[in-house]
Structure 1
Amino acid sequence: MPGPIYDIAVPHTDPDYVVKPFIAVARTKEGIPFVQMGTRDLHLKTRIVFVLGFKTGKYQVKILQTLVDLFIQGTMAEEFMKVNDEDEALELLKNIKIEGN
């Protein structure tokens, strides 16, 4: 997904292939090319990647919407890219509230 400062990617898989639910996040210095959702050939230089693995789609839409709200429409991407280590990143992410939870 294109963002105003940093593009983000949210790859996810079919719940049938998930053994244990997880959310993984990574950031890159140079960016990783991802094809923009809804296109076949528009590549984004993605700097933040959230990999989602859920055993059910129950929370997937809420989590995706929250990530869009915070990282694309909000300022969380800029804050996340400024943290200096894993502990700071984890604390920032732990404070994200998913609506309805």
Structure 2
Amino acid sequence: MSTVDTSLFTPELVFFDFEASDRVDFFTKMSQILMDKGYVKESWLDAIMTREKNYPTGLAFEHISVALPHVDPEHLVKPYIAVIKPKEPVIFEGMAGIGGDIPAELIVNLGLLAHAEGQVAVLQALMGVFMEEDTVADIRAQTTPEGMVDTMKKYCA
């Protein structure tokens, strides 16, 4: 069985050409979207910004730079995985202090009910996806929310 619950990928949480001047702007806008859609509590914004400051999530792979921000389950109403292709890369700090600033071309925001061990398993599975050149090319080629969902499900299954 996959470590990623692919049912959490939904077209309503796929965004293309997302405009954000920086990660604070990104999180502020995502907070409103996720609250409006009933996924997160008001505490989500402060919690994800604090977590990102303490545990940065930017990763530079050979073929794409990504960010995998996530938050503890108590800030969620229901689980989700949001996939965002920003209009311009959004700067995230490198995970585990590696790589300095990472201009994220793709942001996969995880809202998982699993605690630390489950989140680590999902993060590792996603990292494996972003290491493959053909997989990254397929993800980059997507232009519709439905296509992105199908593609992420295919590689995360």
TM range (shorter): 0.7 to 0.9
Following TM superposition, by how much is the alpha carbon of 1:78 offset from its aligned partner in structure 2, in angstroms?
Answer: 2.1
* TM-score (norm: length of structure 1): 0.83
RMSD (CA atoms)? 1.9
Distance across 2 between alignment mates of 1:28 and 1:37: 19
Give the Å deviation of 1:31.
0.6
Residue ranges of structure 1 left out of the alignment (5+ in a row): none
Provide the residue aligned with 1:15 in structure 2: 73
Report the equivalent of 2:105.
47
Query: Which string of whole-angstrom CA distances, capped at 9 and with x for unpartnered residues, describes residues 2-51 of structure 1?
Result: 11121010000011211111111111242110011122981111001010
Write the mapping of 1:72-83 to structure 2, written as runs, cut at 5 A.
Answer: 73-75=131-133, 76-83=135-142
Q: How many residues align?
A: 96
Give runs of ≥4 in structure 1 deviating > 4 Å.
Answer: none
What TM-score do the two structures reach when normalised by structure 2? 0.56
Amino acid at match of 2:95: M
Higher strand share: 1
Q: Give the equivalent residue in structure 2 for 1:93.
A: 152
More helix by share: 2
Give the AA of the match of 2:136. Answer: A
Equivalent AA in structure 2 for residue 77 of structure 1: V
Gaps of 5+ in 2: 1-58
- The percent of aligned pairs where both chains have the same amino acid is 25
Contact 2:60 2:99 in 1 (8 A): no
